[in-house]
């Protein structure tokens, strides 16, 4: 037997990094809206005892532009306490002496509080977002698994359950925001097609202990097996730390994962080189299959898509969440001051304007995230020369440096 129908202006399905960020932006910029957030798992608490998929052992590089957005939401003091600043970005090719270095000092316009960005562990980011959300009028419902969605004259009607065999509840919203992650079941239900290119690579993710302080340097290193990012992390228990993301082929990933810690450490050190000094420890490895996926529609009548279900990018350039934050900001700005009636022409105009406003940034960012690893993975001698020329260009040509930093720091548009 269904419960009585509950109503909301906006129902966000998925309380990961995308859904939680959008909920915070709507609370801040659109206080007139009744917003409900449904998440199938228990929400992370302040003690971070519960982990959502977004808030696992990964760390996220948050670009200066995104830090500015978090500052507007009043979240920067909480984030600062758990993050390490990025002062410099070093891009280099293993086996080549030559590399490019971009520093906060020479690009002050691309900085937030003197940094190009900051790195925060997802296990800290989750509780910060959800603790902040608890102070807003947004209504979180968790655990709440949305099982079916029906579109009708009233908007989207969602059916959800708190768990297997639990009672079914219903909720109707003028706007359904799908934020249920990559390979989205809700997109499938809605018949929204997603184009996917599989990279035939896995991202191996771990935390590395360093013998010396990272001095705020984020490394983009291109190795024979695939691109690597080494991101500064805050010191913990007296240990200097960095987050490692290494995109490599399935066989390399399996072989590395099977090694005992000491040999794994040596192999990663050999592949990365010595630019960050000696690696002294290494956490367990987690593997994420890599693909580029892009939804063919990011909005339609009564529906918008946010986060991994809208676009899932190669992680080495650290752009996915930053792009999502800019999407969230764009959607919140489009809805500010409005309470669009479900399916009305003004709602459609609002969504269309949102889509138009996000198109160029998405195209540039997705292109940047797709091309950089492809170029740097190539062993073809011609492409090797092209990337060495690219590195030389980054070093010697100020407009190229500016463009690279603009994109990396999230000030693309």
Ligand X SMILES: Cc1cc2nc3c(=O)[nH]c(=O)nc-3n(C[C@H](O)[C@H](O)[C@H](O)COP(=O)(O)OP(=O)(O)OC[C@H]3O[C@@H](n4cnc5c(N)ncnc54)[C@H](O)[C@@H]3O)c2cc1C
Q: Does 156 bind ligand X (CB under 6 A)?
A: no
Which of the ranges 24-32, 95-103, 193-201, 315-323 carries the binding residues for ligand X, by CB under 6 A?
315-323
Q: Which listed residue (8, 38, 176, 366) binds ligand X by CB under 6 A?
A: 38
At its nearest, how many Å lie between ligand X and the CB of residue 147?
A: 7
DSSP assignment of 151-163: EETTEEEEEEESS
SS (HEC) of 71-128: HHCCCHHHHHCCEEEECEEEEEECCCCCEEEEEHHHCHHHCECCECEEEEEHHHHHHH
How far apart CA 386 and CA 393 sit, in angstroms, is: 10
Between 85 and 320, CB nearer to ligand X: 320
Q: How many residues bind ligand X (CB under 6 A)?
A: 36
Under rule CB under 6 A, residue 13 binds ligand X: yes
Contacts (Cβ under 8 Å, ≥6 apart) of 204: 244, 245, 246, 247, 248, 253, 256, 257, 285, 286, 287
19 vs 174, which CB is nearer to ligand X?
A: 19
Q: Which is nearer to ligand X, 38 or 156 (CB)?
A: 38
Residue 39, interface with ligand X (CB under 6 A)? yes
Residue 53 touches ligand X, criterion: CB under 6 A: yes
Instruction: Name which position in 6, 7, 34, 41 contacts ligand X (CB under 6 A).
Output: 41
| Contact track, ligand X, 234-263, x by CB under 6 A | -----------x------------------
Kindly identify the residues of this chain, within the stretch 325-364, that bind ligand X according to CB under 6 A. none
Stretch that binds ligand X, among 39-47, 74-82, 187-195, 365-373 (CB under 6 A): 39-47
Angle at 368 between CA 367 and CA 371, to 5 degrees: 75
Spatial neighbors of 47 by CB under 8 A, at least 6 apart, are 127
* Min CB(19)–ligand X separation in Å: 6
Element spanning 369, H or E? helix 345-377
Residue 389 CB, nearest distance to ligand X (Å)? Answer: 27
Residues in region 276-305 near ligand X by CB under 6 A: 288
From the list 29, 304, 22, 299, the residue with the least C-alpha distance to 140 is 22
> What is the β-pairing status of strands 239-249 and 226-236?
antiparallel
Tell me the DSSP string of 209-267. Answer: EESS--TTEEEEEEETTEEEEEEEEEEETTEEEEEEEEEEEHHHHHHHHHS-HHHHHHH
**Nearer to ligand X among residue 57 and residue 136 (C-beta):** 57
Q: Which is nearer to ligand X, 246 or 340 (CB)?
A: 246
Q: Residue numbers of the site for ligand X (CB under 6 A)?
A: 13-19, 38-41, 52-54, 58, 60-61, 145-146, 179-181, 185, 203, 205, 245, 288, 307-308, 315, 318-322, 324
């Amino acid at each position: 037997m269904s419960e009585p129908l509950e109503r909301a202006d906006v129902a966000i399905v998925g309380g990961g990094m995308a859904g939680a960020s959008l909920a915070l932006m709507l609370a801040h910029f659109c206080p007139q809206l009744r917003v409900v957030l449904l998440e199938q798992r228990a929400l992370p608490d302040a003690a971070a005892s519960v982990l959502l998929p977004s808030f696992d052992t990964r760390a996220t590089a948050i670009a200066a532009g995104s830090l500015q957005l978090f500052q507007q939401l009043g979240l920067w003091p909480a984030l600062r306490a758990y993050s390490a600043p990025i002062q410099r970005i070093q891009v280099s090719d293993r086996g080549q002496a030559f590399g490019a270095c971009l520093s906060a000092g020479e690009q002050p316009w691309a900085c937030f509080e003197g940094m190009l960005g900051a790195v925060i562990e997802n296990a800290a980011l989750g509780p910060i977002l959800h603790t902040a959300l608890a102070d807003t009028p947004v209504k979180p419902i968790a655990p709440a698994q949305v099982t079916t969605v029906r579109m009708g004259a009233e908007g989207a009607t969602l059916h959800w359950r708190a768990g297997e065999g639990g009672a079914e509840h219903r909720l109707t919203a003028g706007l359904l925001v799908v934020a249920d992650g990559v390979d989205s079941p809700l997109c499938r239900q809605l018949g929204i097609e997603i184009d996917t290119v599989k990279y035939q690579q896995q991202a191996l993710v771990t935390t590395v202990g360093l013998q010396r302080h990272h001095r705020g340097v984020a490394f983009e290193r291109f190795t024979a097996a695939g691109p690597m990012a080494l991101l500064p992390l805050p010191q913990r228990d007296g240990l200097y730390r960095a987050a490692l993301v290494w995109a490599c082929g399935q066989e390399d990933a399996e072989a590395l994962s099977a090694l005992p810690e000491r040999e794994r450490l040596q192999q990663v050190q050999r592949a990365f080189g010595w630019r960050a000094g000696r690696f002294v420890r290494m956490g367990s490895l987690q593997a994420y299959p890599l693909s580029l996926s892009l939804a063919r529609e990011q909005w339609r009548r009564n529906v918008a898509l946010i986060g991994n279900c809208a676009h899932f990018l190669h992680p080495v350039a650290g752009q996915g969440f930053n792009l999502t934050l800019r999407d969230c900001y764009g959607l919140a700005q489009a809805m500010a001051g409005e309470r669009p009636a479900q399916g009305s022409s003004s709602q459609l105009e609002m969504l269309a304007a949102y889509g138009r406003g996000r198109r160029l940034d998405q195209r540039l960012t997705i292109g940047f995230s797709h091309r950089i690893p492809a170029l740097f993975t190539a062993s073809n001698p011609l492409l090797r020369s092209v990337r060495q020329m690219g590195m030389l260009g980054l070093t010697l040509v100020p407009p190229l440096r500016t463009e690279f930093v603009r994109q990396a720091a999230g000030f693309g548009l």
